[in-house]
Structure 1
């Protein structure tokens, strides 16, 4: 499975990429939503994108809206990973097309649980709660 990590923080990109790689993903990362759109145009859709909200050039919410408007990316799962904790922001992200929402700071366990909620089943990893 392929994942794209989109965050303006190099450290956050590295942490999320490492978590996803430990779960069996092949990862790529970019620093903003516009770079992510360019990456997708060049490499095609991924199985999963982890998207920060607050980024320069093109923010995460705008990225999600653009991706959801493009039928070529209909199968992509989108997880918003952000410091934005207001319920209004969470609702806006989900209404725009995010599949799930995780708040920073996060743990590997939180990311894993969100993937389970999103229906992403990884070979060799039992579903959270022990039911497969």
Structure 2
């Protein structure tokens, strides 16, 4: 579906239910109400088993976190992470400065600047045409 079709559907006014329709719906749902199925305590047993499994998962998570912290301390992980972040920051700054330099070189050429302006004008014109077309409908 297109955006215009969705907008048209959203703009439709829905009629409220009449009293008769409301009574028919209530009678239908009252007649077709699902009754509880006897399960002889099966649901309770399943929920208890799930709770035990969840406790075991928490214990495993805590044990793995403890082993990870010990390994990081023994292997001097914090110093390695600091070095990696520092080198990443320097690489990011150098890459950003190179990108800005190339961008300014590309924009300052007259032909590229004119093409960018022409592209912006075309985009604004297409946007304006679409707004006018949407307003007509």
TM-score (structure 2 length as normaliser):
0.14
TM-score (structure 1 length as normaliser):
0.14
Q: Which has more strand, going by share of residues?
A: 1
Q: Which has more helix, going by share of residues?
A: 2
Q: Mark the structure with the bigger radius of gyration.
A: 2
Greater RCO (Cα-Cα under 8 Å, separation 6 or more) = 1
